[in-house]
Structure 1
């Protein structure tokens, strides 16, 4: 029987969430994207992410705690943040 992959993915890459921080990309690759939720708004009694900081990091930085981003930007909404992060990650991995 085939092993099922679990976990949330966006454009084929894993998403891992801890509190208001989401890491996007495979930690075994050279780069990952960190999404940090800065503000939230209430929509029909549901808390929704509003302003999100997108940062491109070297994967080794995640292990060693050196979180100096190679690129960063603020976006409105999770989809815009993931879209930008995905583009940055794909370009960085292609160069590598």
Structure 2
């Protein structure tokens, strides 16, 4: 089944409920963003607390798979951080 995903800065961005996944599952790391809290602004729900996790895709133990965490106050900052983490992981993998 061919699916087209929304791409942001070269990586797929997929949302399921209050979780947003950023990156390719075939790469060493992917970032999961969990919407922890939302507030209503002009009739729209806007995320105002997002927890960001960098996850090693090859680690079978879900607890050990989490390599970095951070909290961000909005989606823009969360995705921006996720992009930096993935770019650094890509750069580190290329250096090895």
**TM-score higher than 0.5:** yes
Partner of 1:31: 29
Return the TM-score normalized by structure 1. 0.86
SS at match of 1:94: helix
Partner of 1:51: 49
Partner of 2:62: 66
In structure 1, distance between residues paired with 2:18 and 2:34: 6
1:86 correspondence with 2:92:
no
In structure 2, distance between residues paired with 1:17 and 1:30: 20
Structure 1 gaps of 5+ residues are: none
In structure 2, distance between residues paired with 1:57 and 1:6: 23
Change (3 A) 1:15 1:53: same
Structure 1 segments, 4+ long, off by >2 Å, are: none
Which structure dedicates a bigger proportion of its chain to strand?
2
In the TM superposition, residue 60 of structure 1 has moved relative to its aligned partner by: 2.4
Return the TM-score normalized by structure 2. 0.86
Count of residues in correspondence between the two structures: 91
CA RMSD of aligned residues (A): 1.7
